[in-house]
Chains A and B, each alone.
Chain A
Amino acid sequence: MLNTETAIRKILIANRGEIALRILRGCRELGIGTIAVYSDADRAALHVLEADEAYRLGPAPATDSYLRGDLILDIARRAGAQAIHPGYGFLSENAGFAEACEQAGIKFIGPSASAMRVLGSKTRARQAADAAGMPRTPGSVKGLVSLDEAFIVAEEIGYPVMLKAAAGGGGKGMRAVFTRDELGVAFTAAGSEAERAFGSDEVYLEKLIERPRHIEIQILADEHGNCVSLGERECSVQRRHQKVIEEAPSAFVDEDLRRRMGEAAVRLAKSAGYTNAGTVEFLVDEKRNFYFLEMNTRLQVEHPVTELVTGLDLVQLQIRIAQGEALPFKQDEIRLRGHAMECRVYAEDPDQGFFPSPGKITRLLQPGGPGIREDSGIYEGWVVPLEYDPMLSKLIAYAPTRDTAIARLLRALDEYVIGGIRSNLGLFRRILSDADFQASRIDTGYLDRLLSSKDDSAQADKDSEAIATLAAAIFESMRPSNGNGGNHTAKQSEDNAWKRTARREGLRL
């Protein structure tokens, strides 16, 4: 079935961090060669260490390295890659880059540039949703031409409303508007924020769904007209519109809703001639009405939870689709089994307003054992660069039930130590221990409510504090500089510090 002319023997991975490593592993299992690319900030990164070949792109800023499609294509050509996997972020949703790959005769592992253009713009995707007969939030399907038009649309659908950037993502260019008086200011602010972030000030209006759940459908489409849905992921635990915990399946979705959402997602993908892996995002209200939100035309960060409950390898299926194979299964062969949950581990400090915390990882103990998967790109001694997204790893648990998946994550979090930089591991302990989360009483506002409530989990435990104090004292007593004949350099720097202190205090040495 596989045409040897289209067979992929070598793939360039146009990304970094955990996803570059994830793709590399998928390739290696298929016997496909891997090419890593890296910026100056990533010479010591794991994906560079593990790849079969690795090439420098340029200086640290993404615009000089991971966003340089021209350099990446050039490397792919010279190194003899048949395909480029873009991962997520960077060039993954850049239709211009997908087109350049097509023209260079190198397969872009993802949808065609034309399908990406239809579904990548939120307003055009809303038009496609209408054409595919799928429910979406009430509101405009084109960019608003004026504030007057915004007032008319808002009046029509009723407040509260959401202003959104057509080219948007990650919450940028987005404003909730609760009354008529707020619309003018919000309209200008959303437009200029969108212009700055995406180079387009096109904004549109939609009805604000109160207390929605964020539930998305994973689809796979081959190049022979077959398209299947792989069930849903719930990603309602969010902060600043960024997902924090994702799970599959959703505790809120029953068999009937899953089928209806899946069919709607497949209809949309087929209507746009979509191929490869994609995700259709929905908001679901308390009455289980679902509304199309947007489509992500790439592999998602949270794809592992779908892999675990379906038993499929999405990266490998992406590659097989890209080399022209037909999907090896039909919709009725897809079975969901068990429950999977993912924590996005970030280099940020939850105690200091989630301030990013790049720097050297001086200590790393990673969890393992039954049902635990950790997709990471870090190691002890690695310096987390400040130029990129601060995600360190994804901690994923798989178990027969949701309760056991939570218990597994809590157990793994106890094993996990990331030292030298701050991380949000403690935040997960708090969420996973929360009664509302455990009962799946969640919506996209859940985490903000939890964070504004008092944190009982941080209550001082005198016993463990005493043990920690004792351990600190024992570690200090082991330091060579404290004992006899200590480490020379440590001793010297201590002497210098002593001298500096003395000088500052006007003592004479």
Chain B
Amino acid sequence: MAESIKIQLPLKDADLEKLRAGDHVLLSGVIYTARDAAHRRMVAALQKGEPMPFDVRGQVIYYVGPTPARPGCVIGSAGPTTSMRLDPYTPALLEAGLKGIIGKGSRSPAVRDALKKHKAVYFLAVGGTGALLSQRIKKVDIVAYEDLGTEAVRRMEVEDFPAVVVNDIHGNDLLEAGRARYRQPDRLGSYATGRA
């Protein structure tokens, strides 16, 4: 089993400096949720100079649209959604001071450049483990865009929330490096050489 690094949020410069692609972390503290519709509104607000639903400076955004909470529960199942869909909106938020993102899957070259430039980290949480992740979420409040339902912006307090560093501030990319390390081109036939 991989060793886990415990991180207390918000992310400090020393944390950002030290984290490397491939590190397994346990995050504790405050994170904010936002996905497609909320991103469209937040970036529109930024462009018009209107107020944001929360001050993104130094914060972490989690791409999640949870299932409804059962009575007496804090939240329902709450795993990450595909990050790629948020790529067009992400550089603007990084420029505004966002320091961490949690999602799943890889990011566009533009987002990777922006992460490096603005010294921010992209984590993945394991997609399809929404039940497990929900147990690490201790408190949830809707802070904006309540009309968006599952896509509303929520403030969450998490404890030992498991994630993996994909893109660090030094320009490393776990998904690229992992694929390269475990790739077996000799077993891929003509696909490896691009002939078919």
Is B one of A's binding partners? no
Residues of chain B whose beta carbon lies under 8 Å from any beta carbon of chain A? none
Residues of A that sit less than 8 Å from B by CB: none
